[in-house]
Chains A and B, each alone.
Chain A
């Protein structure tokens, strides 16, 4: 490419960016594509955190506090437990979701308790409600602990070892669900970053090709003594710029979110920091060049903006496939995968986020391969712009 051709490509580049920045539709779609991932992840973590807090810090409304002072005192001493006076009509309060769980202590509690008979404590709850279940479990667990403690004391008072009363020792082995959910959220990150790259590119890729055909401005543009390569390259550079911009903003926001969430408090062992972000950018930014080039190539076949968008939504599904498959069937990365364009980037992203980034050479080689492929696609678009069917076909 000569200096003059490149100068002309820059003219096209500047015009396309200016045109793009004035299009409300393009700005909106870029903003959605960029912010969706970070917002989604922030929302997920926020929900998890608040659930966790809800379970740990439990407020127990009790009806009939005065009937079982010893029990209530014991409950008050448990960490994270707050005792409040229960509502007058517990069943109604639960039904209207004013309370999740209400503990009702009957009048004859002390009498039965002192007679060593089972003293009834009622748990009023609606277990069909999703949010109630963890809380109900927590309250029941606390009461069972009290049950076991008093039971042991009674047995010891009668000279029997409490162990006798426990023929089974049931142990819970927690295969942490929240840890799993965290891993799932992490596996979404590549998808979201790819989406930012894709949506950030889409407007220029369609508007500068199919849009140009639809408006009938392509013919006039091509009459200029600029080589087709300059025009295709300029448009491609403009799309690459918006795509990369989207990825940078999206990635930066993700970093901010991960650093502002107290992950340790949520019981997660991983951290997401600047090295992860840099690795992600080093993987995805070269990929942007390819995404834009392919989108432009496909959109050039379309006679209208709408037609182009339907092609690109198909492309979007195809491009998300490896990411989806990876979340469903986590495969161990094999070395050949790194050299398959597109798949290689997905594998590298997984490695980067998993804390095992590939070597610098790997980054360089895969970036080189993907940019070379992008150049091939741009060349394809240049070829399309020579075709009379494309220039005049409306």
Chain B
């Protein structure tokens, strides 16, 4: 479970995140939807504790992420905005490296790695160096190393951005599977279809503020648009809509 309360972050004069609050419950997929530059990545960065909020509270499974960032990171699996790989390491070695940093080792790590490789359908590239990977293979590797410790909460920053159909499917399958296993999944996207296909709750963010949140149906009725894309345009283009 992730709960965010009145989050603020300023860069100079820019108020990148301006009073964001929402909750992402266990066993649900929550989508952070907004156009480019809306504050999605900044919000996520504060959630995964690499950025310190100027104001506000973040709670990850009862752990205050601002006061105890390391404790929060133990409960998080993160696919950050930038998830570069090490070109001279194989997919398996990437997963091992992060697993060991999480404190997993030996047989547990080997089993978990084998499971992840199978789940993400990447056994054929497992022992190849990542230098020649396709975009999809890179994303899968980054995702696998992010969830090697089977975290209760998974944060994904635009996970399907730039992926082909097959890789997008693989990522969606993972998200559904994580949900079925009772994890909290929070991911950001600027693609309407992506969010509507996966999410239980959608949080729409524009210019650093939350403009609406609810189930896809809630958003449709809120805006009076049957088409979600029209709803999205209406929401992000307008002033703050009363909920």
Where the two chains meet, the residues of A that have a C-beta atom closer than 8 Å to any C-beta of B are 4, 7-8, 11-12, 15, 18-19, 22-23, 215-227, 388, 391-392, 394
Contact = CB atoms under 8 A, between A and B. Distances in A.
Contact of B45 (A220, A224, A392): A392
A392 B51 contact: yes
Contact of B84 (A22, A217, A226, A388): A217
Interface string B198-237: 0000000000000000000000000000000000000000
Contacts of B111: none
Interface of B: 45, 48-52, 70-71, 73-74, 76, 78-89, 93, 97-98, 100-103, 129, 142, 145-146
19 contacts: A11-B100, A15-B89, A23-B88, A215-B84, A217-B82, A217-B83, A219-B50, A219-B80, A219-B81, A219-B82, A219-B83, A220-B78, A220-B79, A220-B82, A223-B76, A223-B146, A224-B98, A388-B51, A392-B45
Given A11-B100, A215-B87, A224-B73, 18 more contacts: A11-B101, A18-B89, A22-B88, A215-B84, A216-B82, A216-B83, A217-B82, A217-B83, A218-B82, A219-B50, A219-B81, A220-B83, A223-B48, A223-B49, A223-B76, A223-B78, A223-B80, A225-B73
Contacts, number: 79
Given A11-B101, A223-B76, A217 B85 contact: yes
B173 to A, nearest CB: 22
B52 A388 contact: yes
A394 B82 contact: yes
B102 A388 contact: no
Given A388-B52, A392-B45, A392-B51, A224 B101 contact: yes
A11 B97 contact: yes
A223 B50 contact: yes
A222 B50 contact: yes
Contacts of B80: 219-220, 223
B197 to A, nearest CB: 26
Contact of A220 (B49, B100, B103, B145): B145
Instruction: Give me the 5 closest cross-chain CB pairs, A-B, nearest first.
Output: A216-B82, A216-B84, A215-B84, A217-B84, A225-B73
Nearest to A220: B83
B103 A4 contact: yes
Nearest to B74: A225
B36 to A, nearest CB: 16
B101 A220 contact: no
Contacts of A7: 103
A152 to B, nearest CB: 79
Contacts of A19: 86, 88-89
Contacts of B84: 215-217, 220
Given A220-B142, A388-B52, A392-B51, A225 B83 contact: no
Contacts of B73: 223-225
Nearest to B82: A216
Contacts of B83: 216-217, 219-220
B104 to A, nearest CB: 11
Contacts of A392: 45, 50-51
A19 B96 CA distance: 14
Residue picked from B48, B52, B100, B102, most chain A C-beta under 10 Å? B100
B86 A217 contact: yes
A223 B155 CA distance: 11
